[in-house]
Structure 1
Amino acid sequence: MLRIANASGFYGDRFSAVREMLTDGEIDVLTGDYLAELTMLILGRDRLKDASRGYARTFLRQLEGSLGLAKDRGVKIVSNAGGLNPAGLAEAVRELARRLGITVDVAHVEGDDLLARADELGLGQPLTANAYLGAWGIAECLRAGADVVVTGRVTDASLVVGPAAAHHGWRRDDYDALAGAVAAGHVIECGAQATGGNYAFFTEHEIGVPGFPIAEVHPDGSSVITKHEGTGGVVTVGTVTAQLLYEIAGPRYPGPDVTARFDTVELRQQGADRVLIRGTRGEPPPKTLKVGLNRLGGFRNEVTFVLTGLDIEAKAALVREQLRTALRGSEPEQVRWTLGRTDHPDADTEEAASALLHCAVKDPDPKVAGRAFSGAAIELALASYPGFHVTAPPAEASPYGVFTDSTVDAELVPHVAVLADGTRVDIPPPGETRDLLEPPVPQLPEPLPQGPVRRVPLGAIAGARSGDKGGSANVGVWVRTERQWRWLVHTLTVERLRQLLPETEDLPVRRYLLPNLLAVNFVVDDLLGEGVAAQARFDPQAKALGEWLRSRVVEIPEEIL
């Protein structure tokens, strides 16, 4: 059994987690996930300013107080903090170790950065172009004795799969074991989301400040998700289910090394803060790799008008018309208005009496999105609706990014393990591949017999977790009993989802069933426009989409409440 801990779910996560995971209990490997679609854009802009940058510098500062501790305890460190410059980060870690007087072997994995070949590969002219590599480069570095392995863009789960494969001696066709490690990696990759963070049923537990998760990975690929004893949060079948549903699509979860069958995953509570994941089946991976592409989309700006008291709709209409007139001749390419009716009648505070009218603009010209828009908005201050004020002074325009993804044949993408002594080891593409098959259609259970119902929020019985993948959003919904599942699967259809979430009414929506998890997963295409960096929506990463759904009132049979 190999104890693999996580200490970072995103670039900016809890700084102290690296040291906490090393001091609060025994672990064998410490991982850190720093990369996301928006992070790659940020690192790409960093690299434009200085070619020696492009990696997560926070990781270095965290190691400054923890590298010696990890070495003394025999803990391997594996992280994708290398971003767009894994070689640069590896050298920076070596320099840090020399300065601290610590002897460590540092290796890195590269080959994911396809920017120089983007045009040749039909990827256009992006700011960043990175293939999602798999786990075998990490495994090669660890087998060669590396103490620290840093990578560029690998799949998040590869940070767990690589160490597990190296430790247990898995072969590339040990698909069930690899798939089990993918499931474990997917659960712990987002840090405290597996230990009670952002959890739908948080009121049922003492969450406090959750500890970070640990996956105890066994030779057959099964695992136990847990956390250090005495740390905050909770690990339950529910918290693990929530994370398994996070940012997935169908039951077949494709990766560069294996396609994991999430419809075969079985969960069982083994005791306090211990959840067993078993039964995960694996299939050969697709022949292509996903490639994440970021480009600069132009410039954006925004202003939020505060509308207080009476005549909210009329006040909104007035300022919209005034600003439209003021911008005539210099209209931004995109103008988006949203009115949040946060106001309450006969309110006992001014804030509770106020609504928020938000105007966001985008344009290729920073002057149009910047000075022209800001000036026009603020010049209305004494000439518009009564009580005119804004939440913050209008600012200069800021650049925004656009994320898209593509695929490239795995054979065209180099995957190189650069060992601590400088030896370069080429990692071959998969020897066996399989096109991603349509998800199996499980047999539906019998619907519940008709009986008394009560109108209550869906969240009275259902949990949810939602997130983003480019311009698409997913929302996974699960229940906790077989009879609730029988109701959910027949009630929460695509058509019903569109009724409950009107923003999805005209968008492509797919539903997938995961009976083992008592869950359904919806994928809503185009809800997020051009992705999080483009800030196309009030909730640009769809993080709260599931909570909105849980708040909607539906008729639920009284027997399952």
Structure 2
Amino acid sequence: MTTNRSIRIGAGCSIDMTLSLPQMVRKGEVDYIVIDFMTEVAVSKMKARDMAEPGRGFGIDLIGPELEREFKQMLDKGIRLVTNAGGLQPHACAEALKAMAESLGLSPKIAVVDGDNVLPLIADGKDSFDDMFTGKPVPHDLISANAYLGAWPVAQALATGADIVVTGRVVDSALIVGPLIHEFGWKMEEYDRLAGGVLIGHLLECGAQPSGGIFSDWREVDWADMSFPIADCLADGTAVFSKVAGTGGQISTGSLAEQILYEISDPQAYAMPEVTCDFSNVQLEVLAEDQVRVWGARGHPPSGKYKVFALSDDGWQGVFSGVTTGRSAAEMAQKTGEAILSRCQTLLRDRNLGNWTAAASEVIGAGASYGAQRPKDMDTREAVFRVVMDHADRAGAELLTRVAGASLSSMAPGTSNRLGAPVVSRKMRMSAFLMDAARVPARITAAGETVSLPPVLPSAPFRREMLAPNAPLPKAGDTADTVEVPLSALAWMRSGDKGDKVNIGVIARDPDFVPHINAGLTEEAVATWFAHILADPSNPKVRKYELPGLHAFNFLIDEALDGGAVASLRFDAMGRGLAHQLADFPVLVPTALAAAMQGNAP
């Protein structure tokens, strides 16, 4: 289908509902609002909540004052809402939405997409799967297992005339690709268009991140009245991104490129249920201030498999944080954390509860997370100690709450607990594996009727031989007249997790900087820089990918997040701070170029 009309889609944000939803409804002039609720950590919290309060395993923040205030105006304007707030219980979420609407005298048409729960299909233990990140067998004692469905069920749900589509687990970009399939009539083998839709979806799925949220050049961005991004999407799979007029934020090549590289692993084989995407030659064109055209994604057939996200019950976790102040604050914080854990270990032994399954004490504020790159001249006068203890039994984890108060009266001088009381919560462990898509039909429920939708399978699954190789990016040679500059002066950066892997995207601020970044930022250099976070520093697993279209690189580091965001004991469990730890990496550039770079972000 060929059309010149555009579909205007605005991004909401599940953790910033106070601003995102009102902004899009009142000022966005959008056809669709999409709100993504399902990060890996969010799913684990949904499962823990459902175990404590059955029937509450969905994005309960959607059923809040923001939607209540905007509900009528959203429907009056004909804005359609697509969200995966359904989480692990999409029908319960839909019922809660319906109840809210009825209390306001409204009667929206609500469609539900589910079928992603594959636990009943594998609960008999006859299936064996290997974890796609670790290669180890997936445990059989799973408490949840949900396949990442694609965009076709979302499109089918919209075809029922729904004002609101609530899904369970779908790939994040399906919330956007589904409306585009529905509106433009894309077919299953229009892979370039589908890949373009995934690119648009990948940019929109994380709320304000493409419009300046967590942007490297953060000093340029007004956070108080942050704009969320809007995409004017065309039938050819391209889009123009903009922000809401008169608000903060920024739409620029830097802000968009950072988000494109966010968590994509291999940029030439970004696997989705409906298409395998090649983002290596994506282009960004500035049309006007805060208006950038995005195009150049290429598509190939999907693999015919779905990724499954699964959780196992892993006991309980206690967490406590406090503050030490004054001279030697970091040393006092370190000693405090160690003393708390020592006391806990003694009590566990005295009460015959068995030892903890894992424990850690971190000092925040003294640069400990930087490893060998920690600034040598730091004189911290305020430091946070954070103590984490995992135990198979709740009673064991709760001992941390019994011991924590001792830090105020019998440990370091100048200690405060104003960071909050100790928290004890369920601990989950995640697994991820591939499952034949043919085994996982989706279901669409609308107007009281449920239909099954068989998966769309490729006639020939994706093979790497389908990829066209790119010419390698240039690399600077040796020259005598050079000086060191920090990587942040040459590049924008963004990092994020994928299981126990971390992605670090590095985008040159100017194409002329690429050869120097490429020469200095090798796989070996990155492995050395981050040796302190690797599971096995003697066997680093770092891969460097090139994106010529964006003058960029993506580094994928395996076994770097202490087991992944759901299991990690670190305060930066998603590795989001790692890109900016790389900001200090020294890159050799010609002296003349360094002089011309004055004013770039430090």
Corresponding residue number in structure 1 for 2:425:
398
Q: Which residue of 2 aligns with 1:125?
A: 141
What are the residue-to-residue correspondences of 1:98-177 with 2, within 5 Å? 98-120=102-124, 121-122=127-128, 124-177=140-193
- Displacement of 1:357 in angstroms is 4.5
Paired amino acid for 2:366: T
Q: 1:422 to 1:95 in 2, by over 3 A?
A: farther
Contact 1:504–1:524 (CA under 8 A) maintained in structure 2:
no
Counterpart of 2:135 in structure 1 is none
Instruction: Give distance in 2, aligned partners of 1:544 and 1:97.
Output: 40
Q: Does 1:431 align with 2:438?
A: no
Does residue 408 in structure 1 map to residue 432 in structure 2? Answer: no
For residue 56 of structure 2, the aligned residue among 50, 53, 57 is 53
Give the direction of change, closer, same or farther, for the CA distance of 1:267–1:107 in structure 2 (3 Å limit). same
Deviation for aligned residue 1:415 = 1.0
Q: Verify: 1:220 aligned to 2:223, yes or no.
A: no
Matches of residues 480-499 of structure 1 in structure 2 within 5 Å? 480-499=509-528
Residues 140, 166 of structure 1: 8 Å contact kept? yes
- Kindly tell me: are residues 178 and 315 of structure 1, through their superposed partners in 2, closer, same or farther at Cα, counting changes over 3 Å? closer
Closer, same or farther in 2 for the Cα pair 1:92/1:324, shift >3 Å? closer
Q: Which moved more, 1:481-490 or 1:169-178?
A: 481-490
Which aligned pairs between 1:277-426 and structure 2 lie closer than 5 A? Answer: 277-304=294-321, 306=324, 308-310=326-328, 316=334, 320=338, 324=342, 327-328=345-346, 329=349, 331-340=355-364, 342=366, 352-371=380-399, 373-375=400-402, 395=422, 397-426=424-453
Matched, 1:245 2:248: no
Write the distance in 1 (CA, Å) between the matches of 2:344 and 2:511. 59
Tell me the equivalent position of 1:18: 21
The code of the aligned residue for 1:2 comes to S
Q: Secondary structure at the match of 1:532?
A: coil
- The answer as to 2:90 corresponding to 1:86 is yes
Task: Return the match for 1:470 from 499, 509, 512.
Answer: 499
1:498·1:504 contact (CA, 8 Å) conserved in 2? Answer: no
1:265 aligns with 2:282: yes
Moved more, 201-210 or 187-196: 201-210
Indicate the larger mover: 100-109 or 275-284. Answer: 100-109
Gaps of 5+ in 1: 344-350
Deviations, residues 199-244 of structure 1 (Å, cap 9, x unaligned): 0012345555321111111111111111222222110111110100
Check the 8 A contact 2:301/2:458 in 1, yes or no: no
Distance 2:293 2:464 in 1: 28
Aligned counterparts of 2:572 and 2:146: Cα–Cα separation in 1? 26
Q: How far off is 1:283 after superposition?
A: 0.4
Do the aligned partners of 2:485 and 2:588 also contact (CA within 8 Å) in 1? yes
Secondary structure in structure 2 of the residue aligned to 1:66: helix
TM-superposition CA deviations, 1:1-56 (whole Å, max 9, x none): 333433433x3223242232122142111111111111111211232234433222
In 2, the alpha carbon distance for the partners of 1:311 and 1:40 equals 36
Change in 2 beyond 3 A, CA 1:304/1:52 = closer
Task: Give the percent of matched residue pairs that are identical in Structure 1 and Structure 2.
Answer: 30
**Whole-angstrom CA distance in 1 between matches of 2:115 and 2:343:** 52
State which of 550, 561, 567 in structure 2 corresponds to 1:534: 567
TM normalised by structure 1 equals 0.90
Secondary structure of the 1:445 match is coil
Q: Distance in 1 between matches of 2:382 and 2:50?
A: 43
Contact 1:5 1:21 in 2 (8 A): no
Q: Is the 8 A contact 1:6 1:189 kept in 2?
A: no
Contact 1:118 1:126 in 2 (8 A): no
Q: Secondary structure at the match of 2:49?
A: helix
**1:347 counterpart residue number:** none
Cα offset for 1:142? Answer: 1.6
Q: Which moved more, 1:57-66 or 1:233-242?
A: 57-66
Aligned residues: 552
Checking the alignment, whether the CA contact within 8 Å between 1:27 and 1:75 is kept in structure 2 is yes
Secondary structure at the residue paired with 2:170?
A: coil
CA distance in 2, matches of 1:101, 1:319: 54
Output the amino acid matched with 2:55.
S
C-alpha contact 1:254 1:436 (8 A) present in aligned 2 = no
3-state SS of 1:473 partner: strand
Counterpart of 2:71? 67
Aligned mates of 1:198, 1:247 — CA distance in 2 = 14
Partner Cα separation in structure 1 for residue 186 and residue 258 of structure 2: 28
One-letter amino acid of the counterpart of residue 388, structure 2: A
CA positional deviation for 1:114: 1.6
Helix, strand or coil for the counterpart of 2:570? coil
Q: Which amino acid is 1:411 matched to?
A: A
Match of 2:551 in 1: 518
**Mean Cα deviation higher: 480-489 or 112-121:** 112-121
| In 1, Cα distance between equivalents of 2:576 and 2:8 | 27
The amino acid that maps onto 1:263 is S
d(CA) in 2 for partners of 1:496 and 1:53?
A: 46
Contact 1:463 1:478 in 2 (8 A): yes
| Counterpart Cα distance in 2 of 1:368 and 1:319 | 17
Match of 2:579 among 546, 552, 561: 546
2 CA distance for matches of 1:326 and 1:45?
A: 25
Q: Structure 1 433/217 Cα, relative in aligned 2: closer, same or farther at 3 Å? A: farther
Distance 1:522 1:37 in 2: 21
Alignment correspondent of 1:500: 529
- d(CA) in 2 for partners of 1:554 and 1:96? 56
Deviations 1:129-186 (A, max 9, x none): 1110001111112223222111111111011101001111110111000000100000
CA shift, 1:342, in A, is: 2.8
Secondary structure in structure 2 of the residue aligned to 1:183? helix
For each residue in 1:295-327, what CA deviation from the matched residue of structure 2 results, as whole angstroms up to 9, or x when unmatched? 222222244573742596599569747953773
Q: Displacement of 1:451 after TM fit?
A: 4.9
TM-score (norm 2): 0.84
SS in 2 for 1:53: coil
**Contiguous gaps of at least 5 residues in structure 2:** 129-137, 368-378, 598-602
Counterparts of 1:380 and 1:20, CA distance in 2: 44
- Give, as a single letter, the amino acid of the residue that structure 2 aligns with 1:48: M
* Distance in 2 between residues matched to 1:385 and 1:226, nearest whole Å: 51
Per-residue CA deviations over 1:255-302 (Å, capped at 9, x if unaligned) read: 000011111311111112111111211000112101111222222224
Q: Residues of 2 paired with 1:91 and 1:378: CA distance?
A: 43
Q: How big is the shift at 1:536?
A: 2.0
Q: Is the 8 Å Cα contact of residues 237 and 267 (structure 1) preserved in structure 2?
A: yes
* 8 Å Cα contact 2:520/2:587 also seen in 1: no
Whether the 8 Å CA contact 2:316–2:427 is kept in 1: the answer is: yes
Q: Deviations over 1:372-416 (max 9, x none)?
A: x45556557766666676666873643222222111110111212
The DSSP-based 3-state class of the residue aligned with 2:435 is strand
User: Relative to structure 1, is the Cα distance of residues 118 and 317 closer, same or farther in structure 2, using a 3 angstrom cutoff?
Assistant: same
Letter in structure 1 aligned against 2:265: A
In 2, the alpha carbon distance for the partners of 1:383 and 1:100 equals 55
Deviation at 1:457, TM superposition (A): 2.2
